[in-house]
């Protein structure tokens, strides 16, 4: 592996996620300065704006599952604004991308504060997702309903 492989993997994850939004009919843009938003996703006709933070991981193989590890800054998770961030978690497994897990900021905050998912270390929420057939869990909490949850990004046919 290259010395800075994580940088290449992260950019590949961003581009993969951007491609998915584009195929759904949404416009995408990368901010010139990254201060917490990796991608802006816009519905051109209405001007609807969504903020997206892409979290990318390589897989750690298990017997009947695999894991992906992600870190989310607590300060970012708690930062409320009029437009919540959508976290898109994507794992590179067996030379292909898994189906993304999409969790809106307020839902992820609630899962951490009330369901105690993940662990905190140095201001980061460390999440260890376990992927099995059509299931995803973190800290024994089932997150499967967030698999490919594009409900805030409906397909635009026009």
Give the CATH number, domain containing residue 109.
3.40.1350
- Backbone φ, ψ for residue 6 (5° rounding): -60, -30
Q: pTM, whole model, 2 decimals?
A: 0.95
Number of domains the chain is built from: 1
pLDDT at residue number 1: 63
- Residue 89 forms beta bridges with which residues? 55, 101
Q: What stretch of H or E contains 40? A: strand 39-43
pLDDT at residue number 33: 87
Q: What stretch of H or E contains 127? A: strand 124-132
pLDDT at residue number 90: 98
Closest CA to 76 of 52, 96, 47: 52
How much is the CA Rg of the chain, to the nearest whole Å? Answer: 15
Would you say residue 151 lies in a domain? no
What lies within 8 Å, CB to CB, of 33 at 6+ separation is none
Would you say residue 157 lies in a domain? no
Residues in the chain predicted with pLDDT less than 50, given as ranges, are none
Domain that holds residue 67: 5-146
- Residue 147 forms beta bridges with which residues? 101
- Rounded Cα gap, residues 27 and 41, in angstroms: 6
């Amino acid at each position: 592996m290259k010395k800075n492989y994580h940088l290449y993997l992260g950019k590949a994850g961003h581009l993969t996620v951007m491609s998915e939004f584009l195929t759904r009919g949404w416009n995408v843009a990368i901010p010139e300065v990254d201060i917490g938003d990796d991608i802006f996703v816009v519905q051109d006709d209405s001007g609807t704006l969504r903020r997206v933070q892409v979290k990318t991981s390589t897989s750690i193989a298990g017997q009947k599952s695999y894991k992906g590890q992600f870190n989310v800054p607590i300060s970012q998770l708690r930062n409320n604004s009029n437009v919540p961030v959508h976290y898109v978690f994507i794992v590179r497994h067996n030379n292909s991308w898994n189906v993304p897990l999409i969790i809106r900021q307020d839902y992820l905050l609630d899962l951490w504060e009330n369901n105690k998912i993940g662990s905190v270390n140095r201001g980061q929420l460390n999440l260890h997702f376990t992927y099995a057939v059509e299931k995803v869990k973190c800290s024994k909490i089932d997150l499967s309903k967030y698999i490919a949850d594009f409900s805030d990004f409906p397909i635009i046919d026009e």
